[in-house]
Chains A and B, each alone.
Chain A
């Protein structure tokens, strides 16, 4: 009995790990805006917003990890943090969690069901917005979405996923041409 249980746990862990590989990162830029013209950033006004997961609401271990990752990645891309009220850009982010069902073929009546097991998972999304501090218009939005089953319950795993997710999002910012940053 015991080896069987251990195997099942391993199988679950494997599923969870493969699940997280299929994240979906996207971004869009306001038409006619050159994101490269901006040099400095600061955090936009703080807001309390429900994430849809009570474990993450008002959770500074989560929030501070995202904020540190955003600053680190923006700095690596040549942006500079400025004092509030003195920056070209305002940064804000959102995090949300919702359950999703993956039908995985089970909705097709005439296919063999072999290996097509539907499952439910928690999908987590991080959204990062860059706002023109002068006009207060959003100029760029990037986001990353993926399964976070089991992630929040494991602090080290959560931190790793936050770091990876933010890096993937900021990676999509347009590069400065002809400049090493």
Chain B
């Protein structure tokens, strides 16, 4: 099993080097925080920033599927969704799309470089960033922010791909959520 894991990690590394086809996931956290003091959560209002993109944030399928995935992840961490009593935590998200460029090098693709040098072109693509914020409801302070970034090509308008991307993003993000001390 550990051997398999190492191989998988190596495979992820290869994909990351290969370019923008992969999903980049990371997070920031309040250090030394004991999350075992929190038990319940609810969805909270989003801030004005970062700005969302209507192609994701106003897509009912995206909203539904994302909320479902986050609720599952929070339940998996032992948090209870409470809309009755004042919750300990508030969760909100931002889904943003920006234009990004990447350098497309023939030598990288084919593994060699011709006599007159390498042909170089830039590729423009749309990168999506999903940010999930978890806030201490009492102090109104951010305690954790997770994000996932990947190209959105093939995801907009394709519910299967979108669902798969959301599931991967949320599962990997919450894999970084702090564990009880």
Contacts from A to B (Cβ < 8 Å): 1-2, 5-6, 8-9, 12, 48-50, 54-55, 57-62, 99, 101, 106, 112-113, 116-120, 152-155, 158
Contacts and interface: CB of A to CB of B under 8 A. Distances in A.
A8 B129 contact: no
Given A59-B28, A61-B30, A113-B113, A5 B13 contact: yes
B117 A112 contact: yes
A112 B114 CA distance: 11
Contact of B29 (A62, A106, A120, A155): A155
Interface string B1-31: 0000011001001100100000010111110
Contacts of B103: 101, 118-120
Contact of A54 (B14, B94, B101): B94
Contacts of A60: 141-142
Contacts of B145: 55, 59, 61
Contacts of A54: 50-51, 94, 96, 98, 129, 131, 147
Nearest to B11: A5
Contacts of A112: 117
Contacts of B29: 61, 155
A99 B142 contact: no
A101 B98 CA distance: 16
B49 interface: yes
Given A5-B14, A50-B49, A59-B28, 6 more contacts: A9-B17, A58-B47, A58-B48, A61-B29, A113-B118, A155-B29
Contacts of A120: 101-103, 122
Contact of A57 (B28, B50, B117, B118): B50
B17 A12 contact: yes
Interface in B15-62: 17, 24, 26-30, 47-51
B122 to A, nearest CB: 7
Contacts of B48: 48, 58
A55 B129 contact: yes
A55 B49 CA distance: 10
Nearest to A105: B117
B84 interface: no
B13 A106 contact: no
A55 B50 CA distance: 8
A152 to B, nearest CB: 8
Contacts of B141: 60
A48 B120 contact: no
Which of A54, A57, A113, A118 is most buried by chain B, counting CB atoms within 10 A of its CB?
A: A54
A118 B105 CA distance: 9
B13 A8 contact: yes
Nearest to A52: B98
B100 interface: yes
Contacts of B129: 54-55
